[in-house]
Structure 1
């Protein structure tokens, strides 16, 4: 195991060294290429958990062009990783100011605000990302919007957002479960069952895993279908997999 880990580390740093050499070559031939290369290298370091080298690479990019929005956004991700929230917000804000139409930057900033439980602000940024018809991660953006609206009690808008996410990509398990949950609360059992069945098929095909939320939804749907054995099975899974969850607390109260 130690040999394998050492090999992985060696491969990574050898790769990083090659990229660094390429960046230096780009810096002498094309400032724009250097900007992109330094920013990409910073993100690669971040993915490896090496925030010091990530910051150094991104600082080099910003030394070439202080107004390069992708480097600001990447720096925001680095400081978010380090839980330096004030600095992270400063860089995220700067990236959206410099490139207000960049939906990925909006989504990243919105996700940061959501993590800080600043839900109304997060919803604004996430909605801007979802509104972009050319955003490649638009289904995920609508899913994020749905989560955000749900946290602010705007349940109708949350339902619409999850439906839009699934119109764009019907194989998003989180949106399937959340939509089934909302529909169940609204008394729309047939449609709730439809979406939960899709999710259950993904679980059976090992393309998704149960969460505490999905198991609690399964319990309630099984009860509505008058299938007590299925409800008990989901309840047992809740107890075994998520004993400290809010959903298991609700399940226990429901059987007392």
Structure 2
């Protein structure tokens, strides 16, 4: 399923009740007043904006700008005029002018929620994630704003783009809380839980999604197939696959199902990004001060936690768990694997994360490797108070795929390709042995 930030925003041109204020100006003959109705001017400006946006959607940028200029002449201080111009400049790839237009609109009314939301979406597209988050939270904080669920979903999609998965989940939860039957948010949550390998929770959101929508799409059916396939429920998975082919025979997902049973869908790509983010987290050895944003109060609050980049907010009224806590939680979830940061690639049968950490600390002085590894079922031989480290290898079994192996051992698939000299389409045979670590590094350590 393709990940899109849409529906990120369409310029909202809701014609709110316009005041019938009347002003009096004078023409050349100063004794003859000219009556101008501001309400009429605003209405004509809104009509021109509607025409301009319509032309812009059709790709006629010349007529679009012409109508927006006319709207500006009718009502130069109407917020929607400058928001529409910002949308126009964004469409024609003029980000500097788009920024100026948004700033001008907010200088007229700093609490126009639609403009704040749209500006946040624009900033996210420019990869200015912290500023985007701030603007959209300001929109949500406006008491009269009714599209709160949509803005929370926008925030979640932006956080997914920034690879901030925990925050994305929080914002999706808020979107669903404000609109429990919002199908798009339920589908995104289903996709996120799949990426995090929580297939039971993904299945729960699948059922909620199916109840909330009458227009299930091909991407949703493909994801449903994968969710049940990952749980080993082949019967239900095949039912979803059959529905996909029957309902959307010409779709890309249906063709991929027929070709390779949806070997790699967009949600699998998201899963790879999620695992990569865990590796990035493990490389952070100290806590950083992080900023929490709230739609009710834009003043910052600080708490202990981990942050991957300058976009520091984690969540309101909570503390993000430390890396050691994350290791323990993961160990409880999957008893056969422990992910730890250590200075040598080694394997052990120990079941306690504390014991694993102790072994890692003892070997820091013996080896100079600095990679994160997966602790899996194997043996560590002790000789003369030193550890002889066997190279972890996986023997291909029936039903194995490179992606499934990378997911099982929590190893980046590109590393598996490199270490085993594989090329797409990854033809594996039963009995093949795949390195789960870099054989060159292991050879150097043995020397």
Identify whether the pair has TM-score above 0.5, normalized to the shorter chain.
yes
Residue ranges of structure 2 left out of the alignment (5+ in a row) = 1-33, 246-251, 273-400, 405-427, 429-447
Measured in 2, the distance between the counterparts of 1:176 and 1:157 equals: 16
Match of 2:49 among 42, 54, 62: 42
Match of 2:126 among 111, 116, 119: 116
Measured in 2, the distance between the counterparts of 1:253 and 1:238 equals: 20
Measured in 2, the distance between the counterparts of 1:146 and 1:62 equals: 34
Measured in 2, the distance between the counterparts of 1:38 and 1:110 equals: 24
Match of 1:33 among 28, 40, 51: 40
Match of 2:192 among 182, 185, 208: 182
Q: Which residue of 2 aligns with 1:142?
A: 152
CA contact (8 A) 1:107 1:126 kept: yes
Describe how 1:85-100 pairs up with structure 2 within 5 A.
85-100=95-110
Measured in 2, the distance between the counterparts of 1:119 and 1:208 equals: 31
CA contact (8 A) 1:42 1:53 kept: no
Match of 1:160 among 154, 170, 181: 170
Higher helix share: 1
Q: Which residue of 2 aligns with 1:4?
A: none
* Stretch deviating more after TM superposition (136-145 or 46-55): 46-55
Give the count of matched residue pairs: 226
Structure 1 247/146 Cα, relative in aligned 2: closer, same or farther at 3 Å?
closer
Q: Which residue of 1 aligns with 2:85?
A: 75
Q: Which residue of 2 aligns with 1:223?
A: 229
Measured in 2, the distance between the counterparts of 1:28 and 1:55 equals: 28
After TM superposition, give the deviation of residue 34 of structure 1 in Å.
Answer: 0.7
Structure 1 162/196 Cα, relative in aligned 2: closer, same or farther at 3 Å?
same
Measured in 2, the distance between the counterparts of 1:246 and 1:225 equals: 18
Aligned Cα RMSD in Å? 3.4
Structure 1 178/253 Cα, relative in aligned 2: closer, same or farther at 3 Å?
farther
After TM superposition, give the deviation of residue 215 of structure 1 in Å.
Answer: 5.0
After TM superposition, give the deviation of residue 73 of structure 1 in Å.
Answer: 0.5
Structure 1 116/215 Cα, relative in aligned 2: closer, same or farther at 3 Å?
farther
After TM superposition, give the deviation of residue 201 of structure 1 in Å.
Answer: 4.0
Match of 1:209 among 217, 226, 243: 217
Structure 1 217/70 Cα, relative in aligned 2: closer, same or farther at 3 Å?
same
Measured in 1, the distance between the counterparts of 2:165 and 2:131 equals: 17
Q: Secondary structure, in 3 states, of the residue corresponding to 1:36?
A: helix
Measured in 2, the distance between the counterparts of 1:91 and 1:63 equals: 15
Measured in 2, the distance between the counterparts of 1:147 and 1:81 equals: 20
Residue ranges of structure 1 left out of the alignment (5+ in a row) = 1-26
Structure 1 181/148 Cα, relative in aligned 2: closer, same or farther at 3 Å?
same
CA contact (8 A) 1:120 1:152 kept: no
CA contact (8 A) 2:176 2:182 kept: yes
Measured in 2, the distance between the counterparts of 1:74 and 1:47 equals: 11
Highest CA radius of gyration, 1 or 2? 2
After TM superposition, give the deviation of residue 65 of structure 1 in Å.
Answer: 4.8
TM-score with structure 2 setting the length:
0.44
Structure 1 245/193 Cα, relative in aligned 2: closer, same or farther at 3 Å?
closer
Measured in 1, the distance between the counterparts of 2:98 and 2:143 equals: 27
Measured in 2, the distance between the counterparts of 1:65 and 1:122 equals: 28
Structure 1 146/224 Cα, relative in aligned 2: closer, same or farther at 3 Å?
same
Structure 1 36/53 Cα, relative in aligned 2: closer, same or farther at 3 Å?
farther
Measured in 1, the distance between the counterparts of 2:217 and 2:48 equals: 33
CA contact (8 A) 2:191 2:267 kept: no
After TM superposition, give the deviation of residue 118 of structure 1 in Å.
Answer: 3.1
After TM superposition, give the deviation of residue 253 of structure 1 in Å.
Answer: 4.4
